[in-house]
Amino acid sequence: MSWDEKLIKQAKKIVKLYPQKRSALGPLLHLAQSKDGYISDDSVSVISELVGITEVQVKSVSTFYSMYKQEPTGKYLLSVCKSISCEINNSNSIIDIVKDFTGLNNNETDEEGLFTFEAVECIGACGGAPAIQVNYETVEGLSTENTLNLCEWLKNETPDLVVADELQNQFGGTKSFDWAIADNSGTTGSVPGFQTLNTTKDKK
Amino acid sequence: MSDNVKINVNGLQIESEPNKLLIEACEDSGIHIPRFCWHKRLDPVGMCRMCLVEVDTPRGKMLVPSCTTEVSDEMVVDTESEIVKKAQEGVLEFLLINHPLDCPICDKAGECPLQDQTMAYGPGESRFVEEKRHFEKPIPISEIILLDRERCILCARCTRFSDEISGDPLIEFIQRGNKTEVNTFPNEPFKSYFSGNTVQICPVGALTSTSYRFKARPWDLKSTRSTCNGCSMGCSIELNSSQNKMLRILGVDNEHTNQGWLCDRGRYNFEYLNSDQRIKAPLKKTESDREETTLQDVYGDLSKIIEDRSNKITFLLGSNLTNEEFTSFNEFSNQLGNNDNSIYLNEDLLFKGFFDENIENAKIEDLNKSDAIIIWAEDLKETLPILYLRVRQAVKNGVKLVVFGHTNSTLADISDVYYSGETVSNNFEIVKDISKLKEIKEHIKDKNVTAILGKASPSQSDKSIEKLFTYLKDNSNLRLLNAFNGGNSFGAFQTLGSVKGNREFSSEISKETTDLLFVVGADPVGKSIFSSNIKNIINEIPTVVALDLFMHETSELADYIVPTSSTLGEKEGTFTNIEFRTSRIDKLIPSPGQALSDWEFISGLSNFCKFEGMSESLTDLNNKSFDSFDLDTKPTFDNLDKPRNLDGIINTSIPKIITTDESIEFSDTFFVGKKLYGDKVTERHSKSISLLGSSQFIEGNETTFEKFKLNSGKCILVQENIEITVSCKINPSLPDGLIFFPKNRRNINKLDFSKNIQILPSHSMEVLNVN
């Protein structure tokens, strides 16, 4: 097994939560993703043993959901919404700017491992369209200028942690909800959590 | 029983059992609804949408998939309305978007549901001008199966089969949406004993088998229905040949036995028929070599020995012969004035069996109807694979399963009770008082129980199975399947009157008791666990005649070798399976060279010896085989060829098996058993499966291997001048201190299991890569 003891212990704890072992598959895949930033074949083998199903069955689930990454992402995962509300509000040009800046096509990661770009379906921020997520931290009401600023800031400052509120203040526009993730590990977090307006005030 | 429901389909009133699927109810009444994903033996999923029909609902007429809709009373269905036709056209147009039109080079073309249904229900013209989806053309997903993902229409038949039926889901959908493909996990091939079934049920040419690829077009095939003689399940098969070469075997849906499925050995172990290594002319041993001779010469030489009445003649028969041939040998042996006991069957694990008037012999379908199944026998998955599927099916339907160790560890996962080391000792004795085993009592007390009992290992004494049997008989309403797995062994038991096995052969036969030995379709020297003994016996008997397909370790020792036809497709006859169901074996291709059926040889020899009263034709032998059976419909050719009897006829004649009571001295540290794929001469000459049985290994649990210091994963087996390097496979279901040897694997079959075997850690640091 390629997982260390601590992680295995954590995984076994998750498995115990469910009456059927295989129900733990989703959370365990999140755990695997928090370890490597993506679901490695090694992790798939470990999980298949933990939940008692075959490796290809695990692989089948992990490839079905696009937020389980099959390859390592860059330090910053830029997910630009391409669904209807954002598209009406000019998300196409946001996408173009991000593409131009990073030089990446959809689902590509640059060589330095800094950026991964993806155009995604609705991220639930229609009220503040167009929107982008940086490591699943949402920024709403983007303008084309601010998008470029955001990208440049990320490239120059390379902050270890991005926080939705801070990004929103710096680069965002109209805001629909108070987005935040309870645990700040971003794309590598075990659960991308969303909380409704004004519930994240104590967040650092 | 609840009342049937009446439904109206296309203006016709049809009746159906309640809760039946609409597509099935229509099918039963002769109304065909096109489909891709629905298969009678798999759970419905409604994936392909081809079976859409129009049903009247309170909200008006609606299109519903008939494969996921159950019939209800007074349902009004239209399967041919304009809307249905439009839906079908639409579905086909979608399916064809990414399906390559490479029918001219596709093996499925001509028997392809997609091709046929596009013809019958398709739009006629294509509007699609874009580029189709591309994948790497066929990728091997196992040694015998290739997958062409471009052709796949994602019906999920193969993935559902491997999950629901065979229980080894090694193929699955990967990705989703437009990118969805069927695939295996990297470096984890689709290594299933039942993988060939996915090729057969694939509705397009996405899954193909290496053995049939590019060999023939379906419309050029000659075919006939026959019975597989690989084990004693007697699966119904369809043989396909072209230009007198056997090319393919398909499973036939026989409700009572295989329900359409076959194991891969049954399906692919036929290429040997076309091998150029087949013996084509009779051979006679000379001082230095062997020379070709004629049948007449062989008859002449043998008749001289036979005419001297003081000579004693013994037969050792392989269990792959037809009932008629067993009868023929029996007749011949009686003509020689032999008593019943001169015929031996080439089986290692014969025991008396549980046959008498008071024991109800189970039918295979009883597995599904009982409350509990009790298993103590050789590994079903390896020796009776389709029975293993039937047990799985029963468990899925809610039947309780109790398994006694240590052979059926593959069933441990799905069993309700698995008795391992604490209850079953390493020499296969139940060490506890059976009546005090709570778990089993709860499942069997006064319930309907079907037991599958047989010798799990040669080291098991007859008494230990008897103990379990007596307990079950006293405490439950017991029905029983005797688990003998060798080919037509049940036919042999019945037609030969009384049978003995290899164990008895090796202890009773010597040059004092035998002057002439016939070894027929058997390779005990190569395969039996008594091989060294039998080899000595064969060497000292003055004249040995081998009737066989190939030269192998036993036929090489013979003085005369007569080429014979294979029971698979080269001769006619009947076969009797584990539930005493007799079905037809049919001929499709000619035998090579001068090869002839074993009964023809015996018939010719007795003509030469001027014996009188022998059956003269196959029909006579067939009639004679079942003469004494107390049945209204005897399984004669006439009866079996009637359409209603194609699935075979059950008979109830009680056989007699003679075994010596002395148990074999076996070490407590190991037991031996068969693997599905082995080193049999027919398997060696079947190209596509010849390597599947090539790995050599032993199995044990971690503690055992630690005890023997075998942590490197490799070890050396040493016995006298034999030294074999094998890998150590960890099987956690085995008890401490017990090691399993697959006796039908190459080199391992050279070991003499009645003597001591040393297991040493491998010194070489270099670990060989053996799959």
- DSSP assignments along chain A, one per residue: --S-HHHHHHHHHHHHTSSSGGGGHHHHHHHHHHHHSS--HHHHHHHHHHHTS-HHHHHHHHHHSTTS-SS---SEEEEEE-SHHHHHTTHHHHHHHHHHHHT--TTEE-TTS-EEEEEES--S-GGG-S-EEETTEEE-S--HHHHHHHHHHHHHH--S---HHHHHHHH--S--S----SSTTGGGSS------TTS-TT--
Backbone angles phi, psi at B375, to 5 degrees: -125, 125
Answer whether B188 sits within 8 Å of A56, measured CB to CB. Answer: yes
- Are A179 and A123 contained in the same domain? yes
pLDDT higher than threshold 50 for residue A173: yes
What's the CA gap between B148 and B205, in Å, rounded?
A: 7
Q: How far is CA B628 from CA B291, B319, B579, in A?
A: 43, 22, 19
B443: cis peptide before it, omega within 30°?
A: no
The answer to whether the CB of B734 falls within 8 A of the CB of B740 is: yes
Q: Give the start-end residues of each E strand in B508-609.
A: 516-520, 543-548, 560-563, 573-576, 581-585
Please tell me whether residues A89 and A10 are part of one structural domain.
no
Residue A193 included in any domain: no
The SS3 call for residue B420 is coil
| Sign of the alpha-carbon dihedral angle for A138, A141, A147, A150 | negative
Q: Is B514 left (phi over 0), alpha (psi -120 to 50) or beta?
A: beta
Residue A70 is assigned to a structural domain of this protein: no
List the single residue in B172, B175, B186 with the smallest CB-CB distance to A41.
B186
- Does the pLDDT value for residue A203 go beyond 50? no
Q: Which helix H or strand E contains B8, and what residues bound it?
A: strand B5-9
CA angle, B489 then B491 then B496, to 5°: 95
User: Do residue B183 and residue A56 have CB atoms under 8 angstroms apart?
Assistant: yes
| Residues 6+ positions from B473 with CB-CB distance below 8 Å | B359
Query: Domain with A163 in it: what CATH number?
Result: 3.40.30.10
- Chain B positions in Cβ-Cβ contact with residue A64 (cut-off 8 Å): 173, 175-176
Report the chain B residue with the minimal C-alpha distance to residue A63.
Answer: B175
In a domain, A83, yes or no: yes
- B419 phi, psi to nearest 5 deg: -90, 115
As for how many domains chain A has, the answer is 2
- Domains within chain B, CATH numbers bracketed: 5-80 (3.10.20.740), 131-274 (2.20.25.90), 300-350+499-628+636-657 (3.40.50.740), 360-482 (3.40.228.10), 670-761 (2.40.40.20)
Residue B436: CB partners within 8 Å, gap ≥ 6?
none
Chain centre to alpha carbon of residue B178: 39
Phi and psi at B540, nearest 5°, equal -90, -15
Q: Which of B147, B172, B175 should one mutate to test binding to chain A, selecting the residue with the greatest count of A CBs within 10 A?
A: B172
Asked if the structure places residue A195 within a domain, the reply is: no
A87 and A174 assigned to the same domain: yes
| Chain B environment of A56 (Cβ under 8 Å) | 169-172, 174, 183-185, 188
Q: Which of A44, A54, A60 sits opposite B173 (nearest CB)?
A: A60
Phi, psi at residue A44, to the nearest 5°?
Answer: -60, -45
Residue B265: which H helix or E strand, with range? helix B264-268
Contacts of B351 (CB under 8 A, 6+ apart): B454, B455, B462, B465, B657, B659
Note the pLDDT of residue A184.
52
Question: Could you tell me which residues come within 8 angstroms of residue B536 by beta carbon, excluding any fewer than 6 positions away?
Answer: none
- The alpha carbon of residue A71 is apart from the nearest alpha carbon of chain B, in Å, by 13
Burial of B465 (0-12, 13-18, 19+ CB in 10 A): buried
Give the mean pLDDT of chain A. Answer: 86
Specify the DSSP class assigned to residue B208. E
pLDDT (0 to 100) of residue B279: 95
Evaluate whether residue A56 is within a structural domain: yes
Q: Are residues A102 and A164 in the same domain?
A: yes
Inter-chain touch A60–B172, beta carbons under 8 Å: yes
Question: What is the DSSP-derived secondary structure letter of residue B617?
Answer: S
B185/A64 CB distance under 8 A:
no
DSSP secondary-structure letter at B424?
B
pLDDT at B530: 87
CA pair distance B601, B622, nearest whole angstrom: 16
Q: Percent of chain A, pLDDT > 70?
A: 86
Domain-embedded: residue A71: no
Contact B158, B224 (CB under 8 A): no
Q: Quick one: A80 and A172 in the same domain?
A: yes
Under DSSP, is residue B367 helix (H, G, I), strand (E, B) or coil? helix
Q: Give this complex's ipTM.
A: 0.90
A57, A93: one domain: no
pLDDT classification of A201: cutoffs 50, 70, 90: very low
Q: What are phi and psi of A175, to 5 degrees?
A: -120, 135
Nearest to A56 among B175, B176, B185 (CB): B185
Q: Which DSSP category does B624 fall into?
A: H
Q: How far lies B403's CA from each of B320, B350, B406, B456, in Å?
A: 29, 21, 9, 12
Residues 27-66 of A with CB under 8 A from B: 41, 44, 53-57, 59-60, 63-64
Q: Which residues of B touch A63 (CB under 8 A)?
A: 174-176
Consecutive H or E run containing B671: strand B670-673
| Residues of A with Cβ-Cβ distance to B174 under 8 angstroms | 56, 59-60, 63
In this structure, how many other beta carbons lie within 10 angstroms of the beta carbon of residue B628? 12
Chain A, chain B: beta-carbon pairs less than 8 Å apart: 35
On the 0-12 / 13-18 / 19+ scale of CB atoms within 10 A, B667 is middle
Residues A17 and A93 both lie in one domain: no
| pLDDT at A188 > cutoff 60 | no
Report d(CA B715, CA B720) in Å as an integer: 16
Q: Report yes or no: A7 at the B interface, CB cutoff 8 Å.
A: no
CATH number (domain holding residue A34)? 1.10.10
Specify whether A102 is located in the same domain as A180. yes
> For residue B31, what are its two tokens?
């109304």
**Which DSSP symbol is given to B585?**
E
How far is it, in rounded angstroms, from Cα B621 to Cα B170? 47
* pLDDT averaged per 10 residues in sequence order, chain B, 771 residues: 86 93 95 96 95 95 96 94 96 94 94 96 90 93 95 96 95 93 94 96 96 94 95 96 95 95 96 94 92 95 91 93 95 81 87 86 94 95 96 96 91 92 89 89 93 88 90 94 91 87 89 93 90 92 96 94 95 95 96 95 93 91 90 91 92 79 70 90 92 90 86 84 89 90 87 82 55 38
The per-residue pLDDT for B536 is 93
pLDDT of the residue at B747: 85
For residues A82 and A109, membership in a common domain is answered with yes
| Among B676, B646, B723, residue whose Cα is nearest residue B144 | B676
A104 & A167 share domain? yes
CB B588 within 8 A of CB B250: no
Question: Least CA distance to B174: which residue of chain A?
Answer: A60
Instruction: Please say if the pLDDT value at position A180 is more than 80.
Output: no
For tokens 């042999």, name the residue: B492
Both A91 and A22 in one domain: the answer is no
Residue A199 forms part of a structural domain: no
Asked whether residue A194 is domain-assigned, the answer is: no
Q: How far apart are CA B308 and CA B293, in angstroms?
A: 23
Record: contact B170-A54, CB cut-off 8 A: yes
Cβ distance of A54 and B169 shorter than 8 Å: yes
Q: Which domain holds residue A11?
A: 5-64
Beta-carbon neighbour count of residue B713 at 10 Å?
14
CA distance B473 to A34: 57
Backbone angles phi, psi at A144, to 5 degrees: -65, -40
Q: What is the three-state SS of B278-307?
A: CCCCCEEECCCCEEECCHHHHHHHHHHHHH
> Residue B489 and residue B575: Cα distance in Å, rounded?
9
Q: Is residue B396 helix, strand or coil?
A: helix
With CB atoms and an 8 Å threshold, state whether B185 touches A55: yes
Using 50, 70 and 90 to split pLDDT, how confident is the model at A198? very low
Same domain, A102 and A148: yes
Q: What is the SS3 assignment for B18?
A: coil
Euclidean distance between CA atoms B560 and B663, whole angstroms: 34
